Homo-oligomer: A and B are copies of this chain.
C-alpha cells in the first residue's frame, strides 16, 4: 500500500519538487505550505518537520536551483575548443537555465534569505563562478584573453550574462530582443576579454 502509510518515505524531497512546480505555475506568492501538504496527502503540519519555516523551504529551493544551474553550466561547454566557443556555450547554458526557470532564478537571487542560508547560497554561486574563472584562465594561457587578475575579467563578464538573463526573464525585453540580443552580448563580452591589439 502506498497511500495509507504513516511515514511518507521522503517527504522533504517531495515537498521541494512539488514546491517548484507550484512556483513555476502560480508564482511564489501562491506557494503555501498547507497546500503542498494537501497535494502530497499529508497533514498540514507535516512540512514543519523538514522545514522550520516557509522561508527555510524557499532557501532550500534556491539552493537546489544553484546546484542545477551549476550542473547545467558544467555540462554545457566542451572542455576544449576556442575560447569564444566555450564562452558562448557557457552563456547559452546560463541564459537557457534562466529562461527555463524564471521564477526559480528570481528566488535564487532574491534579497531576503536567512543569513545562514545565504552563506550556503554564496558557496553554491561561487562554485559556478569557478567554472567561469577556469575558462578565463585557460583563455589567458592561450592568449585569447587579456592578462590580468582573473576576477577583474570574470566578474564583469558574469555580471553581463546574469544581467541579460535577468532582463530577459523579467519580461523587460521583448522575446525578439531576448533571442537576438544574446549573440550581441556574447560578442560584446569577447571584446571586453580580448587582449589589447598591438
Contact = CB atoms under 8 A, between A and B. Distances in A.
Interface of A: 27-29, 55, 102-103, 106, 109-113, 118, 121-122, 125, 151-153, 155-164, 166-167, 169-173, 177, 181, 184-185, 188-189, 191-192, 194, 196-197
Contacts of A125: 172
A28 B152 CA distance: 33
Contacts of A166: 109, 162-163, 166
A152 B181 CA distance: 7
Contacts of A196: 197
Contacts of A55: 29
Interface centre among A103, A118, A163 (most CB of B within 10 A): A163
Contacts of A118: 171
Nearest to A119: B171
